[in-house]
């Protein structure tokens, strides 16, 4: 069976934790988009792992982990990430990287920084990992792909064609230019380290599907950061929607069995852009501190708000989500007043959808449903029935409003701090 895990908000929903948790049911875990802008944390037996480009099945030695075509990869940072894992004792892992994935080149980082500076107040608040410039080069057909480092002659020819164009752009934004020989040597030095991992992952995945393997596609970011459907321009440069898995991993769309949408019990966002249910007050500060809402990649304090179900429902409807995974519910203990945003008010009208223009979205005011708060610590609860009545009402409200069942409830960062409400493998 093929499962897709999609973030339904602005990222950081807890994808790393639930992927690691689901990995015991999987043969393969695959990242299909994004790059090291993602930061996925998982905690296993008290040890915290912060993954960026590596799929979150990497801790489990039985899993084959894949970084597919739709990803952009900073190979130098990937090697650092692998070395950090090795230092933590994770030496026995299976990793395949798509030869078609694009390489985040050092100049992409310079350009990401330069564009943000030039945008001044209009800046996106990117992670400055070179994501936008790398995906732009892919679309402009100026990219360098992972498979190119296995073919030195081709790589040199490609750099001879592309680098002058990149140097021209770098000169225009007052950044230092790159020397071809130097860049070539740096990239070629990676060949012996990575060559055993680089394959045609498209064929590998299609074969695995024919053999009825269990595969989980682990999304990065979240639906509201989708390049095509999010709060453009305050988005990332790929599509985190389950809809994009087919193209990003070269598998037929009909082979996807289930889409699991993952959401926090509240809302967060890092970077600039509209956020209707944002709490710029003491309640927001409390949620930030209790939930440790600081970026895994950039350490920036995350912006925090009440749960926005307009956002969540929009994503569920776009990607046909079958089940929900509700994360960080423990953080809402003692949060009073406890509210859920169900609609927006736009220019005096009540609406139940995300307006398509940023200026309209910026004018939206939240309409809230007040929920009953609970005071009990729920972090040790492992059975749904043991949750306080008010907590169950909060979950039921989400299910009824979205018309989607909650399958997993997460009450702490650790792998074990999870309540299974529905069996997604046997329905």
Closest approach of Cβ 10 to ligand IMO, in Å? 6
Known catalytic residues are 12, 40
In three-state form (DSSP H/G/I as H, E/B as E, the rest C), the secondary structure along the chain is CEEEEEECCCCCCCHHHHHHHHHHHCCEEEECCECCCCCEEEEECCEEEEECCCCCCCCCCCCEEEECCCEEECHHHHHHHHHHHHHCCCCCCEEEEECCCEECCHHHHHHHHHHHHHHHHHCCCCCCCCHHHHHHHHHCCCCCEHHHHHCHHHHHHHHHHHHHHHHHHHHHCCCCCCCHHHHHHHHHCCHHHHHHHEECHHHHHHHHHHCCCCEEEECCCCHHHCCCCCCCCCCCCCCCCHHHHHHHHCCCHHHCCEEEEEEECCEEECCCCCCCCECCCHHHHHHHHHCCCECCCCCCECEEECEEHHHHHHHHHHHCCCEEEEECHHHHCCCCCEEEEEEEEECCEEECCCCCCHHHHHHCEEEEEEECCCCCCCCCCCCHHHCCHHHHHHHHHHHHHHCCEEEEEECCCECCCEEECCCCCCC
Binding residues for Mg ion, rule: CB under 5 A, are 12, 39, 296
CB of 231 to ligand IMO, least distance (A): 9
To ligand IMO, the closest distance from the beta carbon of 400 in angstroms equals: 27
Select from ligand IMO, ligand GDP, Mg ion, none the partner in contact with residue 388, using the beta carbon and a kind-dependent cut-off of 5 to 8 Å. Answer: none
Among 66, 411, 419, 424, binds ligand GDP (CB under 6 A): 411
Looking at 8, 10, 16, 33, which residue binds ligand GDP (CB under 6 A)?
Answer: 16
Binding to ligand GDP, residues 242-301 (CB under 6 A): 291-292, 296
Smallest gap from Cβ 187 to ligand IMO, in A, equals 22
Here's the x/- map for ligand GDP, 358-397, by CB under 6 A: it reads as ----------------------------------------
x/- track of binding to ligand GDP for residues 27-56 (CB under 6 A): -----------xxxx-x-------------
Closest-CB residue for ligand IMO? 271
**Which of ligand IMO, ligand GDP, Mg ion, none does 284 bind, CB closer than 5 to 8 A by kind?**
none
For binding to ligand IMO (CB under 6 A), which residues are involved?
A: 7, 10-12, 37-40, 124-127, 129, 131-132, 220-222, 225, 234, 236-237, 270-271
Q: Of 15 and 108, which CB lies nearer to ligand GDP in the complex structure?
A: 15
Q: Which of residues 298-327 bind ligand GDP (CB under 6 A)?
A: 327
- CB nearer to ligand GDP: pick between 114 and 131: 131
Give the phi and the psi of residue 269 in degrees, each rounded to 5: -155, 145
Task: State in angstroms the smallest separation of the CB of 308 from ligand GDP.
Answer: 17
Provide the 10 A C-beta neighbour count for residue 132. 25
Nearer to ligand IMO, 198 or 226 (CB): 226
Q: Which is closer to ligand GDP, CB of 296 or CB of 342?
A: 296
- Chain residues that interact with ligand GDP, rule: CB under 6 A: 7, 11-17, 38-41, 43, 291-292, 296, 327-328, 330-331, 410-413
């Amino acid at each position: 069976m093929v499962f897709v895990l999609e973030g339904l908000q602005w990222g950081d929903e807890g994808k790393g934790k639930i992927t690691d948790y689901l990995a015991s049911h999987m043969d393969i875990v695959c990242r299909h988009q994004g790059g090291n802008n993602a930061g996925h944390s998982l905690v296993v037996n008290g040890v915290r792992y912060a993954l960026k480009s590596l799929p979150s099945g990497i801790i489990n030695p039985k899993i084959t982990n894949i970084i597919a075509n739709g990803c952009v990869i900073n190979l130098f940072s990937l090697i650092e990430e692998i070395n950090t894992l090795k230092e933590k004792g994770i030496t026995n892992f299976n990793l395949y990287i798509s030869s078609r994935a694009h390489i985040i080149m050092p100049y992409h980082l310079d350009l990401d920084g330069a564009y943000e500076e030039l945008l001044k107040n209009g800046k996106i608040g990117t992670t400055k990992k070179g994501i936008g410039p790398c995906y732009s080069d892919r679309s402009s057909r100026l990219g360098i792909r992972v498979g190119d480092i296995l073919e030195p002659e081709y790589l040199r020819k490609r750099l001879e064609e592309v680098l002058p164009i990149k140097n021209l752009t770098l000169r225009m934004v007052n950044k230092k230019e790159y020397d071809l020989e130097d860049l070539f040597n740096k990239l070629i030095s990676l060949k012996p380290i990575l060559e055993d991992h680089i394959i045609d992952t498209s064929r590998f995945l299609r074969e695995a599907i024919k053999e009825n393997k269990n595969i989980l596609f682990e999304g990065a970011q979240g639906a509201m950061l989708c390049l095509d459907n999010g709060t453009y321009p305050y988005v990332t440069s790929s599509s985190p929607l389950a809809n994009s898995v087919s193209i990003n991993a070269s598998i037929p769309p009909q082979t996807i069995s289930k889409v699991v949408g993952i959401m926090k019990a509240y809302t967060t966002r890092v970077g600039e852009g509209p956020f209707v249910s944002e709490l710029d007050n003491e309640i927001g500060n409390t949620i930030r501190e209790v939930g440790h809402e600081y970026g895994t990649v950039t350490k920036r304090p995350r912006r925090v708000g009440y749960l926005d179900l307009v956002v969540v429902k929009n994503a569920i409807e776009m990607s046909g989500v079958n089940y929900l995974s509700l994360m960080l519910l423990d953080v809402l203990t003692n949060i009073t007043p406890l509210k859920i945003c169900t609609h927006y008010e736009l220019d005096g009208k009540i609406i139940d959808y995300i307006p398509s223009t940023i200026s309209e979205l910026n004018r939206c005011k939240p309409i809230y449903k007040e929920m009953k708060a609970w005071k009990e610590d729920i972090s040790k609860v492992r059975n749904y029935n043991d949750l306080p009545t008010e907590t169950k009402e909060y979950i039921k409200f989400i299910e009824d409003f979205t018309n989607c069942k909650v399958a997993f409830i997460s009450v702490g960062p650790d792998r074990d701090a999870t309540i299974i409400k529905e069996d997604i493998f046997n329905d």
